[in-house]
Amino acid sequence: MHPISSRRAEAGKASGTPTRHSGRARRLYTVGNPRKSTTLTVMTALFTLYCLLPLVWLVINATKSQADFVSSFGLAPGREFALWDNIVEVFGYQDGIFSRWLLNTVLYVVVGATVSTFLAALGGYALAKLDFTGKRVFLFVVLGSISVPGIALAIPQFLLFAQLGMTNTPWAILLPSFINPFGLYLMWVFTAEAVPTGLLEAAKIDGAGEFRTFLQIALPLLAPAGVTVLLFSFVSIWNNYFLPLIMLKDPAWYPLTVGISQWNKLGSTAGNGALIQNLVITSSLLTIIPMVVAFLGLQRYWRSGLSLGAVKG
């Protein structure tokens, strides 16, 4: 395992910083450092532009006041640079409820992603390394559940949670987020591949209990997979819109997605609601930033984790 992943890291480094080798590359094109192709670069760049364009629009329009937004072309700057004013207003609007939404989202994401990853690791370990009856039925049901449309689940989930008195509480968002069937699947495959059974046996012979063996031996080996599952959960909880939309009625518990959508609806529903497109856009931009940071920061781990799942499955 280790030799491969370290080699992969080297390869990643080489592809990540092509310019560093360019001096050498002019003389020698190797497998690890081939000649750059203009055609390929242009074609990839075109797709990059397609990905970037809406984000450019978002950044430009976050710098406009509401009056400028309505009266100027989307990709042109406004008459005044209002980004700071907008940010201040976003955090001040409706008694600063945006901060509350941000904190809620962080709560849902951190607790949800951590617990779901841990539960997936625990379950994946049991599936890969322990014997029990009903394993196949369990797997079949869990994997089948991946195909069930989220909205199909949301309606009965809501009705059920309502009867348990859990709607309109953070638990209505947290409990469903604790379960990540795909995460369990990934963890199962990873554990089977990356955790040598001999190592576990040795630990047990030394007197470690099953749970301690799991925590001290298996869990560290599962770190790359863990980061992958963590990030999967992170994104899906961060972007979760439908479930909180129906589960929560109290804006004090909204996550960002629902909160921003409510702001947007204020001005786009017939009536005399406030038109605050500048705040909707600025808050959208602010919402994306933590995601970008998380991905940039963790990208090496999660790529290596993904490659395991993709290739070994």
Q: Per CB under 8 A, which of residues 74..133 are in contact with another protein? A: 74-75, 94, 119-120, 122-123, 125-133
- Among 62, 82, 83, 166, the residue binding another protein under the rule CB under 8 A is 166
Distance CA 279, CA 275 (A): 9
Q: How far is the CB of 85 from another protein (least distance, A)?
A: 15
- Among 87, 114, 193, 221, the residue binding another protein under the rule CB under 8 A is 193
Q: How far is the CB of 39 from another protein (least distance, A)?
A: 9
Amino acid at 311: V
> What's the burial of 104, exposed, middle or buried (CB within 10 Å: 0-12/13-18/19+)?
buried
Amino acid at 57: W
Does residue 57 touch another protein according to CB under 8 A?
yes
- Among 63, 233, 282, 304, the residue binding another protein under the rule CB under 8 A is 304
- Among 1, 6, 24, 70, the residue binding another protein under the rule CB under 8 A is 70
- Among 2, 198, 205, 206, the residue binding another protein under the rule CB under 8 A is 198
Does residue 216 touch another protein according to CB under 8 A?
no
- Among 157, 222, 227, 282, the residue binding another protein under the rule CB under 8 A is 157
- Among 26, 28, 156, 206, the residue binding another protein under the rule CB under 8 A is 156
Q: How far is the CB of 57 from another protein (least distance, A)?
A: 6
- Among 87, 93, 114, 138, the residue binding another protein under the rule CB under 8 A is 138
Considering beta carbons, is residue 44 or 103 the nearer one to another protein?
Answer: 44
Q: Write down the H helix ranges in the chain.
A: 2-16, 22-25, 38-61, 66-71, 83-129, 135-145, 150-163, 171-177, 181-194, 197-205, 210-213, 219-221, 223-238, 242-247, 256-268, 277-312
Token pair for 206: 């030394």
Q: How far is CA 88 from CA 57, 77, 298, in A?
A: 20, 19, 29
Q: How far is the CB of 84 from another protein (least distance, A)?
A: 21
Does residue 199 touch another protein according to CB under 8 A?
no
Does residue 310 touch another protein according to CB under 8 A?
yes
Q: How far is the CB of 203 from another protein (least distance, A)?
A: 11
Q: Are 264 and 275 in contact (CB under 8 A)?
A: no
- Among 24, 96, 295, 297, the residue binding another protein under the rule CB under 8 A is 295
Q: Which of residues 231-260 bind another protein (CB under 8 A)?
A: 235, 238-239, 241-242, 245-246, 249-251, 256-257, 260
23: left (phi over 0), alpha (psi -120 to 50) or beta: alpha
Amino acid at 93: Y
Torsion angles phi and psi, residue 33, rounded to 5: -150, 70
Distance CA 56, CA 59 (A): 5
Torsion angles phi and psi, residue 30, rounded to 5: -110, 180
Q: How far is CA 77 from CA 25, 57, 58, 264, 293, in A?
A: 41, 10, 11, 21, 26
Q: Are 274 and 113 in contact (CB under 8 A)?
A: no
The count of chain residues that interact with another protein, using the rule CB under 8 A, is 158
- Among 223, 264, 298, 301, the residue binding another protein under the rule CB under 8 A is 264
Q: How far is the CB of 88 from another protein (least distance, A)?
A: 18
Q: Which of residues 19-48 bind another protein (CB under 8 A)?
A: 31-37, 40-41, 43-45, 47-48
